[in-house]
Amino acid sequence: MDDKYEKSIVWIRRDLRLLDSHALFRAKERSKNIQLLFIFDQVILDKLDDLYEDKRVQFIKSALLEIEKQLDQNIIIKYGKPEDVFEEIIKDEKIDAVFTNRDYEPYAKKRDLKISKLCQKHNVDFHSYKDHVVFEFPEIVKDNKEFYSVFTPYKRKWLSKVDSGESLIPLFQYRLADIKKMVFTPKTKRAKKFLDKLSPSPIPASSKQAEGKLNKFLKIINDYHQNRDFPAINGTSGLSMYIRFGLLSPRRLSLIAYQNKSVGSQTWLSELIWREFYFMILDTHPEVATKEFNVKYQDFPWKKDSKLHQAWVEGQTGFPIVDAAMRCLKETGQMHNRLRMVVANFYCRLLLLDWRKGERHFAKYLLDFDLSANVGGWQWSSGSGNDAAPYFRIFNPLSQSKKFDKEAIFIKQWCPELQNMPDKYIHQPSLAPEDIQNDAGCILGKDYPMEIIDYNASRQNSLLFFKKILS
């Protein structure tokens, strides 16, 4: 191994933790001193509608403050364009190397290449490592070295690879005390003005909180496969935001799920593998961020109906399970995974609206927004992605509602105007007679909207529409 670097930067991005970080582990091995750097990337933040009220940005701020508390000293926090920040840091800090964990989004890859070239120009070594996934492309490929476009064989190869040796899911172990000895307080000023404008995160953003939620989930993980589809009960992990921002190591979670052989645990592992599958698709096909993977859907004549779109956005479609999910998203930034499929399928298959507009709405509000998974999910629901649902798979909102929110607990929480609607009509209030509406204090078209479409007619129209275009 080369002689140790005098000073190194560990550039953290979507890995806001101090333990089990591949980049930090390697930096510790090869450096005498380490500085941690986080950049509030102006290129990304300028696209947000309400930057200072964005709960995701607030969450990041709180996570960074927790890291400083763990270290008992400051880290370098900057606001600006990454290339400008690195020009300044290389000049001021006299660093020898940069260590970071790889990102697979199109912008992130271009950004990192630019920073790598900048470092090379100034004789600073740039090292990037696999950390967000267990396997990256081309570690999971077909025998002919091509990528997998279908999930099930990808999953089989993923599992068979781990079966051949669990060491393929490494945990990078070191003591926090050893890191604290190496990290030294930076002399540069933090982006204090920007940070001061941000409110504290309403969601606790610490590794301790993340570990607590993980431990709670592990107590119910064996029943995950039975309970995960019901939004009114505590049946999911609730860890998506902590995984998205790296407060928990995805590798460690995969190892925990893999080693627990219960059906529930293996079902959850399958969801973690889906996450990696979508990363791989975006990494190898960056164009899918805005363009359909399935060429048959490219230039597809989606409808342009702003009234239908707005009714969906506001949770005013007249379909309670759809409206409850959309209102929950707008209010909390969260949406149950089953409901993500229901509302996306409704948007694309019944309203025949462009999946890109729906995907962008999710991107605006979801606290756990991840480009690869969001695009992957929307293309799956619209039928335009790889391994997507066939065009004739159209969810019936009524049957989905009765099956997954039978007692309408979730519906009543987010559509309070339906609180007194009898069980017979609450899943489809448009069928309630006038006297029932009066008794329930919920007049259709006044207190709660009429259905914006006729399901049966829309379904038939959709089947004919898709068949004609795709044949």
Task: Tell me if 127 is assigned to some domain.
Answer: no
CB 131 within 8 A of CB 101: yes
* Residue 261 shares a structural domain with residue 374: no
Give the tokens for residue 76: 């370098």
Is 252 found in the same domain as 390? no
188 domain residue, yes or no: no
Does residue 376 sit in the same domain as residue 251? no
Residue 417 lies in domain: 295-470
Are 229 and 372 in the same domain? no
Provide the pLDDT for residue 452.
Answer: 98
Per DSSP (E only), the strands in 111-219 are 125-129
Say yes or no: 417 and 379 in one domain. Answer: yes
* Whether 314 and 448 share a structural domain: yes
Please check the confidence at residue 462 and state whether its pLDDT lies above 60. yes
Computed from CA positions of residues 163, 167, 169, 175, in that sequence, does the dihedral angle turn out positive or negative? positive
- Please report, as a single letter, which amino acid is at residue 98: V
* pLDDT of 166 above 90: no
Return the pLDDT at 187.
Answer: 64
With respect to residue 104, please indicate whether it lies within any of the assigned structural domains.
Answer: no
Co-location of 301 and 446 in the same domain: yes
What per-residue confidence (pLDDT) applies to 340?
A: 98
Query: Which ranges of 285-421 does DSSP label H, i.e. alpha helix?
Result: 306-314, 320-332, 337-345, 355-365, 371-382, 397-404, 409-414
The per-residue pLDDT for 184 is 85
445 HSE (CA, 13 A, CB side) = 5
Closest to 64 (Cα-Cα) out of 189, 195, 180: 195
Q: What is the pLDDT of residue 105?
A: 98
In CATH, what number is assigned to the domain containing residue 269?
A: 1.25.40.80
Q: In this predicted structure, which of 163-172, 283-292, 307-316 has the lowest mean pLDDT? A: 163-172
Q: Domain check: are 331 and 401 in the same one?
A: yes
- Over residues 197-215, the mean pLDDT reads 94
pLDDT band at residue 119 using 50, 70 and 90 as cut-offs: very high
Q: Per the domain annotation, does 373 fall within a domain? A: yes
Whether residue 248 is found in the same domain as residue 378: no
Core vs surface per residue 315-330: b (16+ CB within 10 A) or e: bbbbbbbbbbbbbbbb
Please give the mean pLDDT across all residues of the chain: 96
Res. 51 pLDDT band, cuts 50 70 90: very high
Angle, vertex CA 361, rays to CA 358 and CA 367, nearest 5: 125
Looking up tokens 């990337």, which residue turns up? Answer: 41
With 0-12 / 13-18 / 19 or more C-beta atoms within 10 angstroms meaning exposed / middle / buried, residue 332 is middle
The residue out of 259, 284, 309 marking a domain boundary is 284
More confident residue, 97 or 469: 97
In 242-266, which positions are buried (b, 16+ CB within 10 angstroms) versus exposed (e)?
bbbbbbbbbbbbbbbbbeeeeebbb
Which CATH number goes with the domain that contains 418? 1.10.579.10
The mean per-residue pLDDT over the stretch 33-61 comes to: 95
148 and 244 inside one domain: yes
Q: How confident is the model at residue 188 (pLDDT cuts 50, 70, 90)?
A: low
Report CA torsion sign: 50, 275, 281, 462. Answer: negative
Q: Specify if 275 maps to a domain.
A: yes
Report if residue 412 sits inside a domain: yes
| Domain end (from 249, 264, 284) | 284
Does residue 86 have a pLDDT over 70? yes
Q: Residue 433 domain-assigned?
A: yes
More reliable by pLDDT, 284 or 166: 284
pLDDT at 168: 83
Of 228, 263, 284, the residue that ends a domain is 284
Higher per-residue confidence, 307 vs 189:
307
With respect to residue 211, please indicate whether it lies within any of the assigned structural domains: no
**Which has the closest alpha carbon to 205: 63, 369, 333?**
63
* The residue count for the chain: 471
Distance CA 244, CA 28 (A): 24
Are 156 and 238 within one domain?
A: yes
State which amino acid sits at residue 132: H
Q: Which residues contact 425 (CB under 8 A, 6 or more apart)?
A: 431, 432, 436
Span 218-225, mean pLDDT? 98
pLDDT in tens, 410-449: 999 999 999 999 999 999 999 999 999 999 999 999 999 9
Total tally of structural domains belonging to the chain: 2
Bridge partners, residue 36, by sequence: 10
Q: At 353, phi and psi to the nearest 5?
A: -95, 155
Q: Strand 97-101 vs strand 76-80: parallel, antiparallel, or unpaired?
A: unpaired
DSSP-derived 3-state class of residue 215: helix
Q: Report whether pLDDT(193) > 70.
A: yes
Residues 324, 392 share a domain: yes
